A and B are shown apart, each in its own frame.
Chain A
Amino acid sequence: MKNIVLFNKAGAFAENKDIARDIRVKEIIPALNSGEDVVLDFEKVEAATQSFVHALISDVIRKFGSAALDRMSFRSCTPTVKKIIGIVTDYMQESLGPE
């Protein structure tokens, strides 16, 4: 299980998409490719933009399908961060269509 602490990389307001891309490309996708599950730990992240969350996980959902959400968990999210993650996961699955 790979645990990724977002606050250490993106701070309390997670908005920098370049950082999100680095986490996705260097940590999330390699972990999933090697069979590890991933926990994205949002402890101390007070807010995140939709753009940040999109850059973090949309391509993971596109590459691995909605099954990515069985292998990727989101820990300690605030209610607004939860909702933004929900928006991104919803529209990505909607855009993929039924699997």
Chain B
Amino acid sequence: MKLYIPNSAFLGNIDPFLKSFDPSGTESLEITANNKWISIHPAVLAMIAALGVTVDPANIRCQKFEARSSHYLARMGLFKTLKIPFNVPFVEHEPAGRFIPITRIRGSDELSRFIADMVPLLHLEPEQARTIGYIISELARNVIEHAEADHGAFLCAQYYKKSNSIRVGIADTGVGIKQTITRSHPADTDLEAIRLALRPGITGTTNREGGTEQNAGAGLFFIKSIASINRDFFVIYSGNALYKLLKKPAGVRPRLHADPFDDRHSQEENLPAWRGTVVGADITLDQTAEFSALLDAIAGTYKAAVRERVQARYRRPKFI
């Protein structure tokens, strides 16, 4: 497998990075990068980590990075996660208030402990910390419960002072969204599976309205809604498909949609296949809407979507 890290790969311009990914030859991994400088979204780091741990460290070839870039990758814990050497001396920053290094989560209690430890690290206002904790909990639980990922979920996050935003990435190398969602709902393509997974009340665990006792099929819809109301990017990449919720222009009052294709978005269907799922989200803290106001909007959209599906199954009178 091969990964090329360009000088810039954030959610808005992540497509070239994904297109350059070569998934062939799963027994080895070659990581190359722009020679001058790299600046990347935590979702990219989470992907590299998730992919790297599937390979014997002896079979990972990683080019020598330009010093400052390599320091960033090192302090985010990439080399440690991949168990490959990093011999350039650097000053390890105290993570408080700035970033969450690459972290592997494999179980429910481990996730709860991580969230409890993580919130103080980010030094956020309580309302903002709850939003980030909410996102990480729902995304990581999706991996733990549905992805069948032998290596668990890899996540990391970074605070960006200039934009006053938190960027979060989570990646796994499990079975992917199409395999899980089609256990209960038909989907011919990876993109159609992503579309279903983002709709409120659709879960791979059942086709029964209201979900199972443990799954409602609402987690991804909630997270997309948080990003949508805040006018932020939100990306899902699984199989060969990418769904990207685009930033909404200022001045336009965001509306929530049950069908993600009704949101302002872009989509790709012929990307190199990622076996598993990658999710990236940007949360601009200045714009973070009051969570309770967001919940009002979610409640209305969710209820309408369920009602619409239930009514679609009503028997119709036969007029003869």
Contact = CB atoms under 8 A, between A and B. Distances in A.
A3 interface: no
B288 to A, nearest CB: 13
Contact of A21 (B109, B119, B138, B213): B213
A86 B222 contact: no
Please classify the interface of chain B as helix (H, G, I), strand (E, B), loop, or mixed, using the class held by over half of its residues: helix
Given A16-B108, A62-B210, A94-B306, A47 B216 contact: no
Nearest to A78: B292
A80 B115 CA distance: 19
A7 B310 CA distance: 35
Interface in B132-169: 133-134, 137-138, 141, 145
Q: Chain B: interface residue count, which band? A: 35 or more
B291 interface: yes
A87 interface: yes
A83 B295 CA distance: 6
A49 B210 CA distance: 16
A77 B60 CA distance: 51
B214 A49 contact: no
A15 B112 contact: yes
A94 B218 CA distance: 15
A11 B292 contact: no
B57 interface: no
A71 to B, nearest CB: 18
A59 B215 CA distance: 10
Contact of A13 (B116, B211, B291): B116
Nearest to A84: B295
A55 interface: yes
Interface string A13-49: 1011110010010000000000000000000001101
Contacts of A46: 126, 130
Q: Size range of the interface on A?
A: 20 to 34
Interface string A55-99: 100110010000000000000000110011011101110111100
Contact of A58 (B109, B141, B213, B302): B213
A58 B210 contact: yes
B298 interface: yes
B315 to A, nearest CB: 13
A79 to B, nearest CB: 5
Nearest to B112: A16
Given A58-B211, A83-B292, 17 more contacts: A13-B119, A15-B112, A15-B134, A18-B109, A46-B130, A47-B130, A49-B138, A51-B137, A54-B216, A58-B210, A58-B213, A62-B213, A87-B295, A90-B299, A91-B306, A94-B209, A95-B201
Interface of A: 11, 13, 15-18, 21, 24, 46-47, 49-51, 54-55, 58-59, 62, 79-80, 83-84, 86-88, 90-92, 94-97
